Amino acid sequence: MGESPIHDIFVIGGGINGCGIARDAVGRGFSVFLAEMGDLAGGTSSGSTKLIHGGLRYLEFYEFRLVREALMEREVLWKNAPHIIWPMRFVLPYFSGGQRPAWMLRLGLFLYDHIGGRKLLPATRTLDMRRDPAGKPLKPIFSKAFEYSDGWVNDARLVALNARDAADRGATIRTRTRVVGARRDGDNWAITLEDLRSRRTEEVKARLLVNAAGPWVDHVLAEVVGQNAHNVRLVQGSHIVVRKKFDDPRAYFFQNKDGRIIFAIPYEEDFTLIGTTDRDYDADPHDVKISDAEIDYLCAAASEYFADPVRREDIVWSYSAVRPLYDDGASKAQEATRDYVLKADGGGATAPLVSAFGGKITTYRRLSESMLEKIEGFLGKRGKPWTATAPLPGGDFPATGFKAEVGTLQADFPFLEARLAHRLVRLYGTRARTLLGTARSYADLGRDFGGDLYEAEVRYLVEHEWAQTVEDVLWRRTKRGLHLSREQVAALEDFMRELDKGQSAAAE
Ligand SMILES: Cc1cc2nc3c(=O)[nH]c(=O)nc-3n(C[C@H](O)[C@H](O)[C@H](O)COP(=O)(O)OP(=O)(O)OC[C@H]3O[C@@H](n4cnc5c(N)ncnc54)[C@H](O)[C@@H]3O)c2cc1C
DSSP string of 297-365?
A: HHHHHHHTTBSS---GGGEEEEEEEEEEEE----SSGGGS---EEEEEEEETTEEEEEEEEE--STTHH
Structural domain includes residue 162: yes
Structural domain includes residue 394: no
Name the nearest CA neighbour of 146 among 200, 189, 107. Answer: 107
CB of 55 closer than 6 angstroms to any ligand 1 atom = no
User: Among 361, 366, 371, 466, which is best to mutate for testing ligand 1, by the most ligand atoms less than 8 A from CB?
Assistant: 361
Structural domain includes residue 52: no
> What CATH number is given to the structural domain containing 74?
3.30.9.10
Q: pLDDT, tens digit, for every residue of 27-79?
A: 999 999 999 999 999 999 999 999 999 988 888 888 888 899 999 999 999 99
Q: How confident is the model at residue 501 (pLDDT cuts 50, 70, 90)?
A: confident
Question: What is the distance in A from the centroid of ligand 1 to the CA of 42?
Answer: 8
Question: What is the distance in A from the centroid of ligand 1 to the CA of 323?
Answer: 7
Question: What is the distance in A from the centroid of ligand 1 to the CA of 302?
Answer: 26
Q: pLDDT, tens digit, for every residue of 304-338?
A: 999 999 999 999 999 999 999 998 777 777 777 88
- The long-range contacts involving 181-188, CB below 8 angstroms and separated by at least 24 positions, are 181/224, 182/10, 182/12, 182/209, 182/224, 182/225, 183/226, 184/346, 184/350, 184/351, 185/351, 186/349, 186/351, 187/349, 187/350, 187/351, 188/6, 188/351
Residues 141 and 242 in one domain: yes
- 296, 325, 354 — which closes off a domain? 325
- 325, 359, 375 — which closes off a domain? 325
Atom in ligand 1 nearest the alpha carbon of residue 17: 25
Which residues make Cβ contacts (< 8 Å) with residue 313, sequence separation at least 6?
A: none
CB of 321 closer than 6 angstroms to any ligand 1 atom = yes
Question: What is the distance in A from the centroid of ligand 1 to the CA of 315?
Answer: 24
Residues 315 and 177 in one domain: no
CB of 359 closer than 6 angstroms to any ligand 1 atom = yes
Residue 406: what pLDDT?
98
Residues 425 and 462 in one domain: yes
- The protein residue whose alpha carbon is closest to atom 48 in ligand 1 is 43
Which residues make Cβ contacts (< 8 Å) with residue 282, sequence separation at least 6?
A: 234
CB atoms within 10 A of CB 96: 8
CB of 237 closer than 6 angstroms to any ligand 1 atom = yes
% of the chain exceeding 90 in pLDDT: 88
| CA dihedral of 160, 179, 213, 74, whole degrees rounded to 10 | -20
Rounded CA gap, 129 and 133, in Å? 7
Structural domain includes residue 333: no
CB of 176 closer than 6 angstroms to any ligand 1 atom = no
Residue 99: what pLDDT?
78
Q: 400: cis peptide before it, omega within 30°?
A: no
In contact, 193 and 178? CB cutoff 8 Å: yes
Residues 76 and 144 in one domain: yes
Rounded CA gap, 141 and 132, in Å? 14
**Chain centroid, CA 358 distance in Å:** 14
CB of 277 closer than 6 angstroms to any ligand 1 atom = no
Q: How confident is the model at residue 7 (pLDDT cuts 50, 70, 90)?
A: very high
Which residues make Cβ contacts (< 8 Å) with residue 374, sequence separation at least 6?
A: 342, 344, 354
CB of 212 closer than 6 angstroms to any ligand 1 atom = yes
Atom in ligand 1 nearest the alpha carbon of residue 39: 49
Break the chain down into helix, strand, coil percent, rounded to 5. Answer: 40, 25, 35
Question: What is the distance in A from the centroid of ligand 1 to the CA of 141?
Answer: 38
Q: pLDDT at residue 1 above 60?
A: no
CB of 214 closer than 6 angstroms to any ligand 1 atom = yes
> What CATH number is given to the structural domain containing 384?
3.50.50.60
CB of 17 closer than 6 angstroms to any ligand 1 atom = yes
Structural domain includes residue 39: yes
CB of 220 closer than 6 angstroms to any ligand 1 atom = yes
Rounded CA gap, 492 and 238, in Å? 28
Question: What is the distance in A from the centroid of ligand 1 to the CA of 13?
Answer: 9
Residues 227 and 241 in one domain: no
Phi, psi of 247 (to 5 degrees): -95, -20
Residues 319 and 175 in one domain: no
Residues 259 and 283 in one domain: yes
> What CATH number is given to the structural domain containing 496?
1.10.8.870
As a three-state string, the secondary structure of 85-109 is EEEEEEEEEECCCCCCCHHHHHHHH
Structural domain includes residue 458: yes
Question: What is the distance in A from the centroid of ligand 1 to the CA of 101?
Answer: 34
CB of 163 closer than 6 angstroms to any ligand 1 atom = no
CB of 14 closer than 6 angstroms to any ligand 1 atom = yes
Number of domains in the chain: 3
Bridge partners, residue 88, by sequence: 150
- What stretch of H or E contains 77? helix 64-80
Name the nearest CA neighbour of 345 among 221, 205, 499, 441. Answer: 221
Residue 133: what pLDDT?
97
CB of 225 closer than 6 angstroms to any ligand 1 atom = no
CB of 362 closer than 6 angstroms to any ligand 1 atom = yes
Kindly list the distances between the CA atom of residue 13 and the CA atoms of 36, 39, 192, 363, 459, in Å, as whole numbers in the listed order: 5, 10, 14, 17, 25
What is the domain extent for residue 418?
A: 402-507
Q: pLDDT at residue 458 above 90?
A: yes
Residues 212 and 70 in one domain: no
Atom in ligand 1 nearest the alpha carbon of residue 40: 49
Residue 333: what pLDDT?
75
Atom in ligand 1 nearest the alpha carbon of residue 178: 42
CB atoms within 10 A of CB 65: 9
Atom in ligand 1 nearest the alpha carbon of residue 239: 1
Q: pLDDT, tens digit, for every residue of 400-435?
A: 999 999 999 999 999 999 999 999 999 999 999 999
Name the nearest CA neighbour of 68 among 17, 119, 114, 122. Answer: 114
Structural domain includes residue 57: no
User: Among 73, 216, 241, which is best to mutate for testing ligand 1, by the most ligand atoms less than 8 A from CB?
Assistant: 216
Residue 503: what pLDDT?
79
Residues 38 and 68 in one domain: no
Q: How confident is the model at residue 475 (pLDDT cuts 50, 70, 90)?
A: very high
Q: pLDDT at residue 387 above 90?
A: yes
Name the nearest CA neighbour of 316 among 273, 277, 263, 269. Answer: 273
CB of 20 closer than 6 angstroms to any ligand 1 atom = no
Residues 227 and 237 in one domain: no
Work out the average pLDDT over 182-192: 95
Q: How confident is the model at residue 2 (pLDDT cuts 50, 70, 90)?
A: low
Atom in ligand 1 nearest the alpha carbon of residue 322: 53
Work out the average pLDDT over 383-392: 97
Residue 415: what pLDDT?
98
Residues 374 and 469 in one domain: no
Structural domain includes residue 58: no
Rounded CA gap, 506 and 192, in Å? 26
CB of 49 closer than 6 angstroms to any ligand 1 atom = yes
- The protein residue whose alpha carbon is closest to atom 25 in ligand 1 is 15
Q: What length does the chain have?
A: 508
- DSSP for 416-482 reads S-HHHHHHHHHHHGGGHHHHHTT--SGGGG--EEETTEEHHHHHHHHHHS---SHHIIIIII--GGG
Residues 202 and 266 in one domain: no
Rounded CA gap, 13 and 174, in Å? 10
